Amino acid sequence: MTYLSLNELFPSKLSLFIFIGYILLFVNQGLLVTASQKSDNKYDYNIVTVVLLTEVLKLIASSILYCKDFPVKSLVIDVVKNKTVLLLYFIPAFLYCLYNNLSFINLSTFDPTTYYLLLQLRVVVTGILFQIIFKKTLSKKQWLSLFILTLGCMLKQINFTEPDKNDISTKSGSMDYGISAIFIFVQIICSCLAGVYNEYLLKNQGADVNIYVQNVFMYLDSIICNVILLTITGGILDAFTYKSITKVLHYKVLLVMCNNAAIGIVTSFFLKTLNSILKTFASALELVLTAVLSYIFFSIPIYLNTVLAILTVMFAIYLYSQNPVNNAQKNSSKSVEQKQLLEEV
């Protein structure tokens, strides 16, 4: 009888905690963003400002975490010494910049059901990119698990019963195959490319660079990308008006930014200790957990499609765990020290 290879999935206790924390933070993010919306499901604050300030929070958090063990001078030296890696991080930073801003745009265009359904296409795209960038061929079982996971996520969005007129998830069911379809496709590509390429930097060119320094690289570049985006769109002045800043400082919006900043930090540890495909499964579990918590906190019914989705996703995870992708980072003196540090946390 074959058992789950938990030791292969989670090399250490910390990696398991990171996996769980990653899921919980993303679920919490969805709840917080929903709570920050107005009654018409729109936002009363400048979205781009929130994205930019969130990157600033991530930069501050990463700098503090680094300076907890090393002097500020050492951080400056590391940044200068690894300026090539800093430049390489502009690629995932730009992709995440587009992704974060497109997520708000697409959620204002598509209903949540259509939005989450379309995003599940990143499962297969991530698998393809994993093969291309890391040059590791996925087995038939791994591909099967990815497709089953996609099926499970699709089942979650199929309504097998008569739609409830009071169910907010059934509104705006029609899809716009014009510019909105292009936006959602670009967001999917950005998500997959950024996640896999970021993992590539963490485990290859950046293997000898402290993980907090790599985070500093990412968030510095992200801030620059967001400022450039604001300038190009002509919203740089509106983003920092007194009225805009006042709305951003509302406690609900601050919680959204803080939680999102925590997601950024945890994601870097996730990709450092695990891999992008397992990250995709975490996102699928987050979708299922969101449905359960929505029932608990908001009394949103769990229909047959939700039950089928849970069973299908659980089976896909079981199948994947039989032969997980192991993409260990390159061995180096500093990476060994970082591994020891991670195990001590």
Q: What is the pLDDT of residue 8?
A: 66
- Given a cut of 50, whether residue 303 has pLDDT beyond it is yes
- Given a cut of 80, whether residue 280 has pLDDT beyond it is no
- Given a cut of 70, whether residue 330 has pLDDT beyond it is no
Least confident segment among 60-74, 151-165, 222-236, 289-303: 151-165
Query: Do residues 69 and 265 lie in contact, with contact meaning Cβ atoms separated by under 8 Å?
Result: no
84 pLDDT tier (thresholds 50, 70, 90): confident
The residue with greater pLDDT, 295 or 329, is: 295
Q: What is the pLDDT of residue 343?
A: 34
SS3 for 30-90 is HHHHHHHECCCCCECCCHHHHHHHHHHHHHHHHHHHHHCCCCHHHHHHHHHHCHHHHHHCH
The residue with greater pLDDT, 116 or 228, is: 228
323 pLDDT tier (thresholds 50, 70, 90): low
Q: What is the pLDDT of residue 265?
A: 78
Q: What is the pLDDT of residue 48?
A: 81
Q: What is the pLDDT of residue 198?
A: 77
Mean residue pLDDT of the chain comes to 76
Query: Do residues 199 and 276 lie in contact, with contact meaning Cβ atoms separated by under 8 Å?
Result: yes
- The pair of structure tokens assigned to 215 is 């985070």
- The pair of structure tokens assigned to 189 is 């590509």
What is the three-class DSSP state of 328? Answer: coil
- Given a cut of 60, whether residue 339 has pLDDT beyond it is no
Q: What is the pLDDT of residue 309?
A: 78
The residue with greater pLDDT, 80 or 235, is: 80
- Given a cut of 70, whether residue 19 has pLDDT beyond it is yes
- Given a cut of 70, whether residue 285 has pLDDT beyond it is yes
57 pLDDT tier (thresholds 50, 70, 90): very high
Q: What is the pLDDT of residue 126?
A: 74
The sign one gets for the Cα dihedral 231, 234, 240, 246 is: negative
Domain definitions of the chain by residue range: 6-344
pLDDT tens-digit map of 232-274: 877 777 778 888 889 899 999 999 899 988 887 787 777 667 7
The residue with greater pLDDT, 165 or 36, is: 36
- Given a cut of 70, whether residue 34 has pLDDT beyond it is yes
Identify the top-confidence range among 122-131, 148-157, 210-219, 260-269.
Answer: 210-219
345 pLDDT tier (thresholds 50, 70, 90): very low
Identify the top-confidence range among 73-87, 138-152, 174-188.
Answer: 73-87
Q: What is the pLDDT of residue 31?
A: 76
Q: What is the pLDDT of residue 17?
A: 84
The residue with greater pLDDT, 326 or 278, is: 278
Closest CA to 56 of 222, 300, 173, 171: 222
Measured CA to CA, the distance from residue 184 to residue 181 in angstroms comes to 5
The residue with greater pLDDT, 200 or 72, is: 72
- Given a cut of 60, whether residue 165 has pLDDT beyond it is no
- Given a cut of 90, whether residue 225 has pLDDT beyond it is yes
Query: Which conformational region is residue 331 in: left (phi greater than 0), alpha (psi within -120 to 50 degrees), or beta?
Result: beta
Q: What is the pLDDT of residue 286?
A: 74
Q: What is the pLDDT of residue 223?
A: 94
Q: What is the pLDDT of residue 340?
A: 40
